[in-house]
Amino acid sequence: MSPLRPWRLAAQIWALALLTQAVVVLSLAAMFWMSRHPAPPNFMRLHEHIIREVATHADEPGGLQAAIDRASAATSDQFALFSRDGALLAATRGSTPPQLPFERLATLSRTERIDGPARVIVPLRAEDGLVGFGVARLQLPPPPRMGVATVAVVLAVLAGLSVLLARRLLEPLRRLVGTAQAFGAGDIQVRAGLPPRGPLGLLGRVFDEMADRVAELLRSQRELLANVSHELRTPLARLRVALELAAESDPETARTELHLAEDDLAQLERMVEDVLRTASLDLASLRPGGSHTALQRQRLDVAALVRRAGRRFAGAWSNSQVTIAAPEEPLYVDGDAELLRRALDNLLDNARKYSEPGSPITLRAAAEGDEVVLEVADAGIGIDAADQVQVFTPFFRTDRSRTRMTGGVGLGLTLVQRIALAHEGSVALESEPGRGTRVTLRIPRARGGLVPSQALHCEQATAQE
């Protein structure tokens, strides 16, 4: 899964702001364009022709004014003629002659606009040069008024675009909040189901995956209630029966029943110890910094630890064929001797439970680089591929029958994993149905020399096994 990139969400918000600004600029440009009334096409050529036609009457007494009046009546525009030195010759009646910059106009060689598109000036020339100027001012209709309605339309467009773009961002957030609230209220089946695109889509997928893991954990815990109730009730019932029979039977039968009761007590003790150990390591890992203060670290020779564990297991289960492969030279780690012994015992016990009597079991210790590798392999029934991804999940059991031979609450491999993580190591499982299982525990090797007091402690801990 690609990592969550906050800059992508920031880019979307920035794009929303930029688009809003673009709409504002375009709206203002449209308002400005609407406020400018376009001049009729070819107005310069038309009025230049009219002015030159009027100028032909300049030498006629009264004819010039009459020509200007006719032109104004025909076009509804205003005209004025000036001499070369700026003197007004004639103008539309009732109009105010424009004030012209004659110093600049003396350099004109062609018709030009002045004061915007509504006024043009035409230089009048003869063979001997410039003789005057003609000015036409168009009477354009007033520009459309930009009133409240126009502003309202622009604001409505902006609001509509903002709502559409905001919904694109806020709808996924709303669904995430609603899903989180429903999940927190106890509906563990609810999921966000966001489209898998963008940072919010990635956030939705992460949330759904987290919800799947939590739901699976809750399901496992509910299954634990059935497992623990059965596992506790069964040996307790057998203990009660054994004690009743021992009290009422002959000494030989009583000894047999009490021996079976010892097995039941050992099973209860192991079950309670697994639960307490797992809870203790989980609690330690949740402390600030993840420090495993539950460990009693010391310098240990795990090669000797493996040999002792193998001999102890072989003595307890004489019908199991155990092969121990550990070097004679020490393999030192800094760890908790009791926890590492428990991890090996759990792995060996699992190998025994899920193998036929007499089936070979291999216990191996070796150094690989900066790590010590502890490995338990069997040739038993193996584990289905669908179950292998869950074998380290608390309370998960591949054999759900809960028989006396394979009883337990599904914490054996979970505890092994917690012990490996507490020692800054790892655990891996390889299995093939019908061909056996191999579990590999890797722990960092100890660094530096062995302190004498630690060496003595190590020897004592090994001897006590």
Tokens 């509509």 -> residue: 160
Buried b / exposed e over 45-71, threshold 16 CB at 10 Å, is: eebbebbeebbebbeeeeebbebbbeb
Of 71 and 372, more confident: 372
Question: In this structure, are strands 360-368 and 321-325 parallel, antiparallel, or unpaired?
Answer: parallel
Specify the pLDDT at position 325.
Answer: 94
- Asked whether 133 and 124 are in contact (CB, 8 A), the reply is yes
Half-sphere exposure of residue 47: CA atoms within 13 angstroms, side-chain side: 31
| pTM metric for this prediction | 0.49
Give the model confidence (pLDDT) of 400-459 as tens digits: 544 545 555 567 888 899 899 889 999 999 999 989 999 999 999 987 644 433 443 333
Q: Could you give the CA distance from residue 382 to residue 355 in angstroms, rounded to a whole number?
A: 9
Specify the pLDDT at position 402.
Answer: 47
Of 325 and 198, more confident: 325
Of 93 and 222, more confident: 93
Specify the pLDDT at position 1.
Answer: 46
At residue 465 the predicted structure's pLDDT band, cuts being 50, 70 and 90, is very low
Rounded to 5 degrees, φ, ψ at 4 are: -70, 125
Computed from CA positions of residues 53, 55, 59, 65, in that sequence, does the dihedral angle turn out positive or negative? positive
Of 3 and 205, more confident: 205
- Asked whether 438 and 375 are in contact (CB, 8 A), the reply is yes
- The CA–CA distances, whole Å, from 197 to 75, 342, 462 equal 65, 47, 57
Judged against a pLDDT cut of 50, whether residue 229 lies above it is answered with yes
Q: Could you give the CA distance from residue 194 to residue 343 in angstroms, rounded to a whole number?
A: 42
Half-sphere exposure of residue 220: CA atoms within 13 angstroms, side-chain side: 19
Surface-to-core class of residue 229, CB atoms within 10 Å of its CB (0-12 exposed, 13-18 middle, 19+ buried)? exposed
Specify the pLDDT at position 151.
Answer: 66
Q: Could you give the CA distance from residue 331 to residue 462 in angstroms, rounded to a whole number?
A: 13
The SS3 call for residue 358 is: coil
* Percentage of the chain modeled with pLDDT above 90: 17
Q: Output the CA angle 15-19-22, nearest 5 degrees.
A: 140
Nearest CA-CA partner of 399 in 415, 380, 418, 416: 380
Q: Token pair for residue 168? A: 């694109």
Q: What's the whole-number mean pLDDT along residues 265-286?
A: 71
Q: Which residues pair with 53 in a beta bridge?
A: none
Q: Could you give the CA distance from residue 378 to residue 431 in angstroms, rounded to a whole number?
A: 10
Can you list the domains of the chain with their CATH numbers?
6-36+145-184 (no CATH), 43-137 (3.30.450.20), 198-285 (1.10.287.130), 292-463 (3.30.565.10)
Give the model confidence (pLDDT) of 163-198 as tens digits: 777 777 777 888 888 888 888 888 888 888 888 777
Nearest CA-CA partner of 417 in 396, 438, 439, 392: 392
Judged against a pLDDT cut of 80, whether residue 365 lies above it is answered with yes
Of 145 and 445, more confident: 445
Q: Could you give the CA distance from residue 156 to residue 175 in angstroms, rounded to a whole number?
A: 27
Q: What's the whole-number mean pLDDT along residues 134-145?
A: 69
Of 209 and 280, more confident: 209
Q: Could you give the CA distance from residue 41 to residue 117 in angstroms, rounded to a whole number?
A: 11
Judged against a pLDDT cut of 70, whether residue 41 lies above it is answered with no
Q: What's the whole-number mean pLDDT along residues 362-366?
A: 95
Instruction: Specify the range with the lowest mean pLDDT, choosing from 52-66, 130-144, 247-261, 334-348.
Output: 130-144
- Asked whether 130 and 106 are in contact (CB, 8 A), the reply is yes
Judged against a pLDDT cut of 70, whether residue 58 lies above it is answered with yes
Q: Output the CA angle 43-45-50, nearest 5 degrees.
A: 90
